[in-house]
């Protein structure tokens, strides 16, 4: 595990523990950056970003799309995974190998071995967008971790406990940072504070978040 971690994060940027079973890997995605951005363009060309609607009828400020064997969607009937993009009627684009490799390496560096994601949710944040505190509970097996990759503008990651009212800690996420949580932290509440204005040299005035899961 240590050799794998050393391959994706330099020694001066160690694994940062944010809770029991939850870690930040600073800059861990930078070695994959070019291939991941190329893969992102291919995915969004087939399944563009869209603002989904919650079961309560609210339009989400974060734009979303998916790739892999299943995509996470929300509409008036609820939250769920589906193999088909509801806008195109076609299967979601396949997951690029660069995504799969980054997710497996990051999970292994955090101590979660043999991670093989079949779903990847892509969120696009523009200034003013936010994601309220929530739990990821639509997956089949809560023993498997979540891997979350930050690209573009910096953001404030909020990480709480197993109850919504538990104290929330805040962490600054920069381009290339990866958060991984599982085990006792797998069902912790988490979210992203309102994104501030800015400009990133690779992605312009937005933030992209790639969230990998074993959903099926």
In contact, 110 and 28? CB cutoff 8 Å: no
Structural domain including 53 reads 2-213
The mean per-residue pLDDT over the stretch 67-77 comes to 96
Residue 3 has pLDDT above 90, yes or no: no
Residue 8 has pLDDT above 80, yes or no: no
Helix extents (H) in the chain:
2-8, 33-46, 97-109
Residue 197 has pLDDT above 70, yes or no: yes
The mean per-residue pLDDT over the stretch 49-78 comes to 97
175 is in an annotated binding site: no
* CATH assignment at residue 78: 2.60.120.590
Tell me what pLDDT residue 76 has: 95
Q: Tell me: the pLDDT tens digits for 11-48?
A: 445 789 999 999 999 999 999 999 999 999 999 999 99
The Cα 111–Cα 211 span in angstroms is: 18
Q: In 10 A of CB 190, how many CB atoms?
A: 24
Residue 152 has pLDDT above 70, yes or no: yes
What distances in angstroms separate CA 192 from CA 48, 60, 74, 92, 150, one per listed residue?
Answer: 22, 13, 18, 25, 11
Residue 157 has pLDDT above 70, yes or no: yes
Angle between helices 97-109 and 33-46 (to 10 degrees): 130
Tell me what pLDDT residue 107 has: 97
Tell me what pLDDT residue 1 has: 35
Tell me what pLDDT residue 13 has: 52
The mean per-residue pLDDT over the stretch 42-55 comes to 97
The mean of the pLDDT values for the chain is: 94
Residue 2 has pLDDT above 50, yes or no: no
Q: How many domains does the chain have?
A: 1
79 is in an annotated binding site: no
Tell me what pLDDT residue 14 has: 72
Tell me what pLDDT residue 10 has: 43
Question: How many residues are present in the chain?
Answer: 216
190 is in an annotated binding site: yes
Percentage with pLDDT > 70 across the chain? 94
The mean per-residue pLDDT over the stretch 168-181 comes to 98
The mean per-residue pLDDT over the stretch 53-59 comes to 95
């Amino acid at each position: 595990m240590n050799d794998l971690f050393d391959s994706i994060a330099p020694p001066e940027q160690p694994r940062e523990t944010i809770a029991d079973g939850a870690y930040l890997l600073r800059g861990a995605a930078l070695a994959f950056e070019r291939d991941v951005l190329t893969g992102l363009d291919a995915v969004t060309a087939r399944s563009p970003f869209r603002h989904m609607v919650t079961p309560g009828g609210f339009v989400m400020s974060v734009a979303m799309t998916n790739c892999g064997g299943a995509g996470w969607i929300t509409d008036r009937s609820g939250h769920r995974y589906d193999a088909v993009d509801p806008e195109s009627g076609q299967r979601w684009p396949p997951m690029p190998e660069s995504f799969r490799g980054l997710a497996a390496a990051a999970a292994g560096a955090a101590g979660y071995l043999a991670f093989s994601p079949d779903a990847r949710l892509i969120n696009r944040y523009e200034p003013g967008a936010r994601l309220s505190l929530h739990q990821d509970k639509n997956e089949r097996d809560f023993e498997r971790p979540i891997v979350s990759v930050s690209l573009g503008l910096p953001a404030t990651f909020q990480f709480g406990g197993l109850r919504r009212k538990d104290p929330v800690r805040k962490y600054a996420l920069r381009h290339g940072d990866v958060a991984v949580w599982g085990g006792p932290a797998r069902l912790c509440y988490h979210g992203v504070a309102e994104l501030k204005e800015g400009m990133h040299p690779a992605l312009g005035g937005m933030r992209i978040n790639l969230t990998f899961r074993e959903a099926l």
